[in-house]
Structure 1
């Protein structure tokens, strides 16, 4: 591996601390915060709260895939769900729109834990979604198709 091909040196810019209120989709809420503060590249260091429902995908075997696994169809969980841990990246898609890559663990009313890649739509905040977003400077994260894996991945570019 050539590390410099896949990594770039960066600085942490502003830190945005806040919450996403009841009834808002998590990823839509993250995008609204980023638009309000003109954040195009960053990471979510902390995100906790509760959900009325959750929607995520997860890795599963897939022989037809280039690398032996694929992602499931979206799983919809009914709440209440407790957000136990989450982290993510914020960048831009091929159209220049905000793209959020959010991974999270949640527990249901039976204390069963589920986790995966949470996708937009269906992740509705129940009481609150408390979040910390760190802006990243001197780089761009551009989500695009990766030939080697067959997935849309963030590519890092120095600016």
Structure 2
């Protein structure tokens, strides 16, 4: 369903994939590899916890573009951090290329929380344990929206 305020599609969970990323693995690339190896390009990250070394992430900022916003420069924290939570969607573009959109929250040794949009370069410290649900009955797509100037999530019925 699509109207002026939202786009929706209904489906269900068909499989669950459990993934443990090992030390030194790039989190985003490792998750993408796990999804591709298991044929998942319609899914959701149900849970992700672990520890990270020097995470990289970004957050929205005001920009001079059609939308008025976009992701700002990559932020980089140093040292070991606890990955207290990560969530995201596994979708694909119009050519079928797998695309992950993951947000995370980390805490430092003092309990201070930081978070944002996960980007490449974030490495596993000891482990990152992830549960991924494959979704059936709908298409977790991405498409380019001319009015905003961005490729965004575009769910539709299968």
Superposition TM-score, scaled by structure 2 size: 0.90
Correspondence for 1:88: 88
Correspondence for 1:97: 97
Q: Is the 8 A contact 1:79 1:109 kept in 2?
A: no
Distance 1:39 1:142 in 2: 12
- Equivalences for 1:124-143 in 2 at 5 Å? 124-143=123-142
Distance 2:31 2:4 in 1: 30
- Please state how far the C-alpha of 1:10 moved relative to its aligned partner: 0.6
Q: Is the 8 A contact 1:55 1:118 kept in 2?
A: yes
Correspondence for 1:149: 148
- Please state how far the C-alpha of 1:98 moved relative to its aligned partner: 1.1
CA separation of 1:4 and 1:150: change in aligned 2, threshold 3 A: closer
CA separation of 1:4 and 1:113: change in aligned 2, threshold 3 A: closer
**SS of equivalent residue, structure 1 residue 40:** coil
CA separation of 1:61 and 1:18: change in aligned 2, threshold 3 A: same
- Equivalences for 1:1-159 in 2 at 5 Å? 2=3, 6-62=7-63, 64-119=64-119, 121-159=120-158
- Please state how far the C-alpha of 1:77 moved relative to its aligned partner: 1.6
Aligned residues: 157
CA separation of 1:94 and 1:55: change in aligned 2, threshold 3 A: farther
**SS of equivalent residue, structure 2 residue 79:** strand
Stretches of 4+ aligned residues off by more than 3 angstroms: none
- Please state how far the C-alpha of 1:3 moved relative to its aligned partner: 7.5
- Structure 2 unaligned blocks of 5 or more: none
